[in-house]
């Protein structure tokens, strides 16, 4: 029997580090390091994720045929980082010292550190940052050919790239280079609005529907968009080339107000700025994909990079009708680069065949009954074990009304979204659940919307969407006649960030919602990630129990075990203030 080819893809040293393991070109494990270290957006070498990947297949590093890194650090450092500091010198002195410490102590020593931390001393393959993004989407899509668009903050030089792919061949053709970056533009607006860069950009997207696009003309002063989709930032308004900040006083003068202080009151002004930034981002992305289709035509579009997590823009691209099919990598940020480089090694170095489309995103760790029981016993919690049928019946019934449930099942999701295995779920028909989950369980801002999970077969009954959206990466309107039925997942502008679920993708989760529909007539529930603000999504039963005990969740479902908050003694319910202090606010 021929020995299988294991390829390990790694991304790290910026944010959202991750490890992905392929076996003969198929994904067998994928996870972000933050889930194990409990440090949000952990950028370190994904030692724990690699350990779990190898353990999952019961192999060691000696069984790994190749290791890939998702970008080219030497090119990034010597060609861009140093050139940029020389260009802006002496203004960037403080930023230069900070960068040199990072690069000289770790980022330039990838091979050495992988040998030391991971025990790997073989050859390391490198791809460019945007090529890794592109590969993560195209090879997972199942398309025979595609137009490709990637957009994020910055890789080596590229910030936006377009390309084409057919069969096993993929080539990036054109790029826009740093400092001109749509991702950094959006991060600068995130910073100006008082949110955390590389963490809370999604808040700007969620805040935007509360505002009006009153500052679009000011945004056009910041970013010049050409007919071919290329763009240039007016760098007089941005300071990220030479400081550790994103913007300065010139932007404040343009918009008429100083930068919002983090955690201060959100005024209508901030909502209008968010709406204006979102509007210009959508306009730019539409121009880019339109040009990409003209240059490299296909019926299929693949999107990746951090900007591809802007599901409102994705929805606009879909409704433009430019492409028949769109595939967006669920781990579109830097975590997805680990998958992309692994795919590139498989096809380029091992001449491997294409695998089928990525069928789901459940590629992380899984815990059996023994591990769940051990965690429950450690906390001495009263539990009830149910059969599969009884678990579905009981949970579906408990979900009706005001109860909020922590739902922990199967393998953990890969990417930033909880998709029904590490989720907090509740009744979408009860509008009060929106406030309850935001303020008393997630401890986050009250403007934040919740995503619905809808039975795939009922999708078009509730939403203006004609296709599945399994990864929560498309926004569409809730049908007017359904908005009153599911107010807890209908955003202020009548839209929703949709997750569809099929019996093939996640049988247990689908079955739960199906039972809820049988009981209530509604095939939609609230689904949000199982965590509090600033905390990575729970990975283990221990994480889930900790989050449950420190919040006002009513029930916890771990595998086939149910814990009822009402049955727990007061001394076992924990003080949430102490718990929240563990996590840095985003």
Same domain, 409 and 491: yes
Nearest to 478 by CA among 519, 424, 429, 517: 429
Element (H, E) at 454: strand 451-455
C-alpha dist (Å) from residue 191 to 194, 273, 274, 581: 5, 12, 11, 22
Calpha distance 155→177 (Å, rounded):
9
In a 3-state reduction of DSSP, which class is residue 150? strand
- Write down the residue that tokens 């595609």 correspond to: 146
Same domain, 310 and 436: no
- Write down the residue that tokens 């009744």 correspond to: 427
332 exposure class (CB count in 10 Å sphere: 0-12, 13-18, 19+) = buried
The reply to whether 373 falls in a domain is: yes
Same domain, 312 and 339: no
Same domain, 28 and 106: yes
C-alpha dist (Å) from residue 271 to 201, 434, 496: 14, 20, 18
The reply to whether 386 falls in a domain is: yes
- Write down the residue that tokens 């949709």 correspond to: 498
Calpha distance 487→197 (Å, rounded):
30
Q: Which residues contact 280 (CB under 8 A, 6 or more apart)?
A: 216, 219, 220, 222, 223, 225
- Check which CATH number belongs to the domain holding 447 and give it: 3.90.870.20
Q: Which residues contact 182 (CB under 8 A, 6 or more apart)?
A: 151, 159, 160, 223, 231, 281, 284, 285, 307
Give the full edge-to-edge strand order of the sheet including 145-151: 169-177, 158-166, 145-151, 300-304, 325-328
* Crossing angle (nearest 10°) for helices 369-378 and 541-549: 40
* Cis peptide upstream of residue 214 (ω within 30 degrees of 0): no
Same domain, 382 and 492: yes
Question: 50 phi and psi, to 5 degrees?
Answer: -65, -45
Same domain, 214 and 273: yes
Same domain, 307 and 393: no
How many structural domains is the chain composed of? 3
The reply to whether 328 falls in a domain is: no
Same domain, 510 and 392: yes
Same domain, 236 and 262: yes
C-alpha dist (Å) from residue 367 to 67, 108, 412: 27, 37, 10
The reply to whether 157 falls in a domain is: no
Structure tokens at 546: 């900790």
Element (H, E) at 308: none
The reply to whether 138 falls in a domain is: no
Report whether 417 contacts 472 (CB < 8 A): yes
Report whether 244 contacts 95 (CB < 8 A): yes
Q: What angle do CA 251, 256, 258 make, to 5 degrees?
A: 65
- Write down the residue that tokens 């679920």 correspond to: 501
Strands (E), 343-428: 384-385, 404-408, 422-427
Same domain, 256 and 341: no
Radius of gyration over every alpha carbon of the chain, rounded to an integer in angstroms: 23
Give the full edge-to-edge strand order of the sheet including 124-126: 26-32, 18-23, 6-11, 64-69, 124-126
- Check which CATH number belongs to the domain holding 64 and give it: 3.30.420.40
The reply to whether 142 falls in a domain is: no
In a 3-state reduction of DSSP, which class is residue 519? helix
Give the domain range for residue 243. Answer: 175-319
Report whether 101 contacts 94 (CB < 8 A): no
Same domain, 385 and 338: no
In this structure, are strands 325-328 and 300-304 parallel, antiparallel, or unpaired?
parallel
The reply to whether 117 falls in a domain is: yes
Up-side HSE of residue 513: CA atoms within 13 Å toward CB? 30
The reply to whether 495 falls in a domain is: yes
Calpha distance 220→231 (Å, rounded):
11
Q: Give the pLDDT of residue 92.
A: 80
Same domain, 266 and 382: no
In tens digits, the chain (586 residues) has pLDDT values of 689 999 999 999 999 999 999 999 999 999 999 999 999 999 999 999 999 999 999 999 999 999 999 999 999 999 999 899 889 888 888 888 888 988 999 999 999 999 999 999 899 999 999 999 999 999 999 999 999 999 999 999 999 999 999 999 999 999 999 999 999 999 999 999 999 999 999 999 999 999 999 999 999 999 999 998 999 999 999 999 999 899 999 999 999 999 999 999 999 999 999 999 999 999 999 999 999 999 999 999 999 999 999 999 999 999 999 999 999 999 999 999 999 999 999 999 999 999 999 999 999 999 999 999 999 999 999 999 999 999 999 999 999 999 999 999 999 999 999 999 999 999 999 999 988 898 888 888 888 999 999 999 999 999 999 999 999 999 999 999 999 999 999 999 999 999 999 999 999 999 999 999 999 999 999 999 999 999 999 999 999 999 999 999 999 999 999 999 999 977 666 667 777 778 887 7
């Amino acid at each position: 029997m021929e020995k299988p080819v294991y390829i390990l893809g790694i991304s790290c040293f910026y944010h959202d580090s991750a490890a992905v393991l392929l076996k003969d070109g198929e994904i067998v494990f994928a996870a972000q390091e933050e889930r194990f270290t409990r440090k949000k957006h952990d950028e370190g070498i994904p030692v724990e994720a690699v350990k779990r990947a190898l353990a999952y297949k019961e192999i060691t590093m000696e069984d790994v045929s190749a290791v890939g890194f998702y970008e080219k650090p030497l090119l990034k450092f010597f060609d861009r980082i140093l050139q940029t500091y020389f260009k802006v010198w002496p203004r960037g002195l403080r930023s230069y010292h900070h960068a040199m410490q990072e690069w000289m102590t770790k980022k330039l020593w990838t091979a050495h550190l992988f040998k030391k931390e991971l025990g790997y001393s073989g050859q390391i393959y490198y791809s460019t940052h945007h090529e890794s993004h592109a590969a993560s989407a195209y090879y997972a899509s199942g398309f025979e050919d595609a137009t490709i668009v990637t957009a994020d903050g910055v890789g080596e030089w590229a910030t936006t790239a377009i390309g084409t792919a057919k069969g096993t061949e993929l080539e990036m053709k054109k790029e826009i280079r740093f400092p001109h970056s749509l991702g950094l533009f959006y991060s600068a607006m995130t910073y100006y609005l008082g949110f955390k860069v590389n963490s809370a950009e999604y808040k700007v997207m969620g805040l935007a529907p509360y505002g009006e696009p009153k500052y679009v003309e000011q945004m056009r002063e910041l970013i010049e968009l050409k007919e071919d989709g290329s763009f240039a930032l007016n760098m007089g308004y941005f300071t990220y080339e030479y400081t550790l900040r994103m913007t300065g006083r010139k932007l404040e003068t343009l918009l008429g107000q100083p930068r919002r202080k983090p955690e201060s009151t959100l005024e209508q002004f901030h909502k209008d700025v968010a709406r204006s930034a979102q509007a210009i981002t959508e306009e730019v992305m539409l121009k880019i994909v339109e040009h990409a289709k003209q240059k490299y035509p296909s019926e299929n579009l693949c999107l990746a990079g951090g900007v591809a997590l802007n599901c409102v823009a994705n929805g606009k691209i879909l409704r433009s009708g430019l492409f028949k099919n769109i595939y967006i990598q669920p781990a579109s940020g830097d975590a997805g680069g680990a998958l992309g480089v692994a795919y590139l090694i498989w096809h380029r170095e091992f001449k491997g065949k294409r695998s089928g489309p990525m069928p789901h995103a459940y590629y992380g760790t899984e815990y059996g009954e023994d591990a769940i029981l051990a965690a429950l016993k450690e906390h001495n919690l009263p539990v009830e074990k149910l059969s599969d049928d009884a678990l579905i019946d009981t949970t579906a019934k408990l979900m009706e009304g005001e109860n909020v449930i922590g739902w922990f099942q199967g393998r953990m999701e890969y990417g930033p979204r909880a998709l029904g295995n590490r989720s907090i779920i509740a009744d979408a028909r009860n509008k009060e659940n929106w406030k309850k989950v935001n303020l008393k369980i997630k401890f986050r801002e009250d403007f934040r919307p919740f995503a619905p999970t809808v039975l795939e077969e009922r999708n078009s009954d509730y939403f203006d969407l004609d296709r599945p959206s399994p990864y929560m990466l498309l926004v569409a309107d809730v049908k007017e006649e359904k908005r009153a039925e599911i107010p807890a997942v209908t955003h202020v502008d009548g839209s929703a960030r949709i997750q569809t679920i099929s019996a093939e993708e996640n049988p247990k989760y689908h079955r739960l919602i199906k039972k809820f529909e049988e009981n209530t007539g509604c095939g939609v529930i609230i689904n949000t990630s199982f965590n509090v603000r600033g905390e990575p999504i729970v990975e283990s039963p221990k994480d889930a129990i900790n989050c449950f005990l420190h919040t006002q969740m009513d029930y916890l479902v771990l595998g086939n075990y149910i814990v009822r908050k009402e049955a727990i003694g007061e001394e076992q319910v924990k003080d949430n203030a102490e718990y929240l202090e563990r996590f840095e606010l985003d």
